[in-house]
Structure 1
Amino acid sequence: MSAVPAGPPVPSPDAGPVATGVRPRSAVGLAVALTALFVLFIGGSAYAVYADWTTWALMERLLSDPGAVGGAELGRGERLIGLAASVQSKALIVTCVVFVVWFRRVRTNARVFAQAADALASGVAVGARFAAPAKLWLPSRIAATTWLSSRPLDTDDGSRRFPLTLVNVWWGAFVAARVLGWCGGMAYSLAQSPGAVRHAATAMLAGDVLDIVAAVLAALFVIRLTAMQRTRSAQSPAVAAVRP
């Protein structure tokens, strides 16, 4: 898996004054709901892996011995792929909606901890709307800025205790999964031969496995960042004074 392209330097979590007049809101409830949705999505992706593998095995048998696979098996394989795609896409949509709500909450909280750092994240978010290719890596810069802004205070080794590795690897896995899934799905819809279907199933299988990896890493990111913000809120007098 290739690393996420390097973006602009990410500000220190202590960049800029602590914002005033902004009340941090707990993201714990959203994080719990999101973690449950990630588990649901992982289940859907595991089912998709099974469907991909079944299709790949059917095509392998068909190529080896055309008479070994009947029409009923081929029809079952097609229905399995269709059902898996439907389940996985619906789970992904619901998970993404809740993730956006959670992410907006933690970004707003990050503005309290490091106002100048979050200003960069806001600018990056606006820029992403006008540069389609940048959407592949700019969200990871926003996540990185929010992560660094939320690191607990008084940690001289903060870069080692709270590295950006999790953010970068998670986003890299997510992007790779989306690209492989799109390519595999497109190839499957255009396939006209058992060999082409087998190649498409291979790409979809790899993409669905990466989906599971990305979902696990995303859940860890959500849990870790939420815990960091709770600790940071308790450590900062200015924030603790308005903590709900």
Structure 2
Amino acid sequence: MPATPATPPAPPPAQGPYAVPDARGGRLRAPVGLATALTVLFALVIASDACTLYADWNLHSLMERMLADSAAVSDAELDRGTRLTGLAGTVHGNAVIVTGIVFIIWFHRVRTNAEAFAPGADKLKTGWAIGAWFIPFANLWLPYRIAVTTWGSSTPSAADGGYRRFPLTLVNLWWGLFVLSKLLGWYGGRAYSSAESAEAVRDAALTMLAGDAFDLVAAVLAVLFVRRLTAMQHARAAQGPAAAAVQGGL
């Protein structure tokens, strides 16, 4: 009696929407957990921004009073104002460093996923999603360029299989305010360090105040950017491997 051919094993079940193979035979990696962590971390950045705003305003107010009447501000008040500015800056700086590390990890992951959705859409290798942040001057543009191409490559198809447009307004606002806040913060910090008069300190505090205000708004927009792009990739991955071929030329 001839042997019955063995039944081929059933393919393993898909492990959620991120089981879509990428161009190298690997798997997409869900950025959802990182996005959740970033939501919490950016909330800390926003809170620290609020503290630096108060410290900047307090320092500016002290200098205004000194300029109006040099005896109106005691040495103790001046010392407290200076220490508050330094402490707020340190806390904010530490929050930004931790958040920045997690953000770059998330940024690299969504860029890698985008390469699976639309291979070759971005001529820069996926490693640039990390390296671009550390190149002087180029880091004012390259991360934005990568964000734009990743955004376009991650756009899910419409219900009828056609192209669905997600405007870049959010990306543009976030990046513009982010760069502006960093430039103002850098300039204000240098001016404060070299200030030798109450008027110079007042002007530096005002510049830092503006930079921190823009930084707070940029942090809010960063949360929206992270959550929107993560949701776009989740929806795109849920459409399966065929969706990656629909917009492969983006």
| TM-score of Structure 1 vs Structure 2, range by shorter chain | 0.7 to 0.9
1:36: which partner in 2?
40
Say if 1:128 and 1:134, in contact at 8 Å, map to a contact too.
Answer: yes
User: Which is greater in Rg?
Assistant: 2
Provide the residue aligned with 2:168 in structure 1. 164
> Are positions 1:229 and 2:233 aligned together?
yes
Q: Unpaired segments of 5 or more residues in structure 1? A: 1-17
1 or 2, which has the higher helix percentage?
1
Cα deviation digits, residues 7-40 of structure 1 (max 9, x gap): xxxxxxxxxxx72512011111100001100000
1:188 maps to 2:192: yes
Aligned CA distance change for structure 1 residues 131 and 82 (closer, same or farther; 3 Å)? closer
Whether the aligned pair in 2 keeps the contact of 1:107 and 1:118 (CA below 8 Å) is no
Distance in structure 1 (CA, Å) of the matches to 2:142 and 2:162: 28
Q: Give the Å deviation of 1:134.
A: 2.5
For the 8 Å contact 1:22–1:112, the answer to whether it is kept is: no
Task: Give the equivalent residue in structure 2 for 1:112.
Answer: 116
Please tell me whether residue 139 in structure 1 is matched to residue 139 in structure 2.
no
C-alpha contact (below 8 Å) 2:48/2:95 kept by paired residues: yes
How many residues are paired up? 221
1:127 and 1:74, CA in 2 relative to 1: closer, same or farther beyond 3 A? closer
* 1:152 and 2:169 correspond: no
Cα distance change of structure 1 residues 209 and 130 upon mapping to structure 2, 3 Å threshold: closer
| Range moving further from structure 2, 132-141 or 49-58 | 132-141
Aligned to 1:88: 92
Corresponding residue SS for 1:101: helix
Q: Does the aligned pair in 2 maintain the 1:188–1:196 contact within 8 Å?
A: yes
CA contact (8 A) 2:156 2:243 kept: no
> Higher RCO, 1 or 2 (CA under 8 Å, sep at least 6)?
1
Asked whether the equivalents of residues 112 and 239 of structure 1 are also in contact (C-alpha less than 8 Å), the reply is no
Distance 2:201 2:220 in 1: 29
Compared CA separation, residues 229 and 128, structure 1 to 2 (3 A): closer
* Alignment CA distance shift 1:126-1:227 (3 Å): closer
The DSSP-based 3-state class of the residue aligned with 1:116 is coil
Question: Structure 2: where are the runs of 5+ without partners?
Answer: 1-21, 245-250
TM-score with structure 1 setting the length: 0.84
| Aligned equivalent of 1:23, options 14, 21, 27 | 27
